[in-house]
Amino acid sequence: AAIIMLLANPMLIHNPGFIISFACIYSIAFLYKPMSKISKNLPLPRFIKDSIALSLAIQLGIAPILIHYFNYLSIINVILNIFTVPLTFLIIAIAFPGIIIGSILPTISTYILAADYYLIKLLLKAIEYFAKLPLAGIYIPSLPIYIYVIYYALIYGLINARNKIGYFAWKWRLQIYMTVALVIAVIGIKFITNDNLRIVVLDVGQGDSILITTPKRKNILIDGGGSSSEGYNYDVGSKVTVPALRKLGIWHIDTIISSHIHDDHLEGLIRVAEEYKIKNLVLPRVPYKSEKLDMLIDIAERKDSNIFYVGEDDRLVLEKDISMEILLPSKELLIGTNSDENNNSIVAKLNYKNFAMIFTGDIEKEAERRIIDKDIKSVVLKVAHHGSSTSSTKEFLDKVSPIISIISVGNNVYGHPSGETLKSIEEIGSAIYRTDMHGAVKIVTDGIKLKVITVR
């Protein structure tokens, strides 16, 4: 059936529903019998033991697939299926005669299908109730593919450990294990010798959120996205930023940097700080406060995070050969500008061997003039203030002279990015990447060469 469906539509190979459906079938075929042997000694009725065996078989078989696609693994469904599997069979058993009878006796069919309606309602209520229980499931960040290979190899080995096999079958199995071991060794060596710095500009809509991952797997998150206008409230942290971090395989965050207090940069960090253990919280050395900032600081304090306030001439050492120079806010804050909060954002220059990237927060031309005489030449520029016409002056762009310019922007009423800014960036010969057009933008570099990868 799978082959026929793929011949009709080859793109189904990328469809999670297709993959999970057939993974369930194969899980039942290969794992149900071993699970039945394990559950047979349980002091429970036969149908409950069969339900447990079926549920365990499916759970073990599709767990890596669920983690890969959804970063979530249900624990409660092993218990839930004891109730829902028989109920589902009952719903199907009633539905078929109800449909057939409906073509002859519609009135009687109405009563039969009405019973099915209430059974379906009961099923949905049960699922909803169990899903809300504590520890009903766990969120798991994406894992490397080789972990899934090891998992399935272990499952295969455990299932066949007690089986008596002949020489040729033993030799075939040994070859499989040796191949898996070789793959793991190669990947392990690559992991140990990895010297790539990864920077991902997340697609959080009209906001900023940038993840930096060092070669030694330290994670630094600059801003977290959030609501971009008054009266508009969308939980970007829960619905975009945290899921994106899980999809990127992030298990921990070493440092959060909040560039300034505006919601489209700070709000999403609150959810991130709730979900992750944060070692360090870095804030600008400015007097500006907000309710959201107080919430973030409160979470950091409750989790015993270190809180640092930084400004001009400070330096964050991430690891050997990798550091961030803080260029703004300056010792004398910019006051009386169009937006003092924007112009006193944290501006930092990331250095790694021959590679440099400058993170500009939401600074405008007044702040750009303040740092124009500093060493701001960079390979990559995170364009200030979502490409606003109040930022990215020609003088500033000429001084930075970026090969790549990244604009974090979404649907907005502000006209971001402005045509003037885009034209100025094009005139210096810089390649432009926009999160509203390209999705998340990833930079991978060993400090000498770099690669740009986009979602779209």
| Pure H helices in 231-287 | 236, 242-247, 263-275
Range from 46-50, 57-61, 107-111, 163-167 that averages highest in pLDDT: 57-61
Query: Which of 144-148, 190-194, 267-271, 374-378 shows the lowest mean pLDDT across its residues?
Result: 190-194
Q: What pLDDT, on a 0 to 100 scale, did the predictor assign at position 167?
A: 47
Among 99-113, 194-208, 224-238, 399-413, which stretch is predicted with the lowest mean pLDDT? 224-238
Q: Which residues neighbour 290 within 8 Å (Cβ) at sequence distance 6 or greater?
A: 261, 266
What pLDDT, in 10s, does the model give residues 285-324? Answer: 999 999 999 999 999 999 999 999 999 999 999 998 999 9
Residue 207 confidence (pLDDT) above 50: yes
How many other CB atoms are there within 10 angstroms of residue 445's CB atom?
21
Share of the chain above pLDDT 90, in %: 71
End-to-end distance of the chain based on CA atoms, in angstroms?
Answer: 32
| 3-class DSSP assignment, residue 444 | strand
Strand residue runs (E) in 216-320: 219-222, 253-257, 278-284, 306-310, 315-319
Reported confidence tier of residue 229, pLDDT bands at 50, 70, 90: low
Q: Which residues touch 144 (CB under 8 Å, ≥6 apart)?
A: 187, 249
What confidence score (pLDDT) does residue 161 get? 61
Token pair for 188: 């392990």
Indicate the SS3 state at residue 316.
strand
Whole-angstrom distance, CA of residue 268 vs CA of residue 243: 11
Q: Locate 372 and state its tokens.
A: 């124009």
Q: How far apart are CA 292 and CA 263, in angstroms?
A: 8
Q: What is the pLDDT of residues 151-193, one digit of tens each?
A: 888 887 777 765 554 445 556 666 666 777 777 777 766 666 6
| Sign of torsion over alpha carbons 124, 127, 129, 132 | negative
CATH hierarchy code of domain 197-454: 3.60.15.10
* Cβ atoms of residues 354 and 384 within 8 Å: no
Cα 263 to Cα 144: distance, rounded to the nearest angstrom: 33
pLDDT at 227: 81
Residues 6+ apart with CB under 8 A from 77: 55, 59, 130
Question: What is the CB-side half-sphere exposure of residue 244 using CA atoms within 13 A?
Answer: 27
Q: Is the pLDDT of residue 203 over 60?
A: yes
Alpha carbons 209 and 272: distance in angstroms, whole number: 11
pLDDT in tens, 314-371: 999 999 899 999 999 999 999 999 999 999 999 999 999 999 999 999 999 999 999 9
- Assigned token pair, 405: 């310019």
The rounded distance, in Å, linking the Cα atoms of 292 and 269 is 9
Q: What distances in angstroms separate CA 13 from CA 8, 22, 141, 378, one per listed residue?
A: 11, 11, 23, 41
CA within 13 Å, CB half, 343: 20
Distance (Å, whole) CA 43 – CA 187 = 45
Give residue limits of the domains in the chain: 2-141, 147-192, 197-454
Please enumerate in sequence order all residues whose Cβ is within 8 A of that of 316, keeping only pairs 6 or more positions apart, or say none. Answer: 255, 282, 310, 323, 324, 326, 348
**Helix intervals (H) in 332-453:** 340-343, 365-371, 394-400, 419-427, 435-438
Q: Say what the pLDDT of residue 165 is.
A: 47
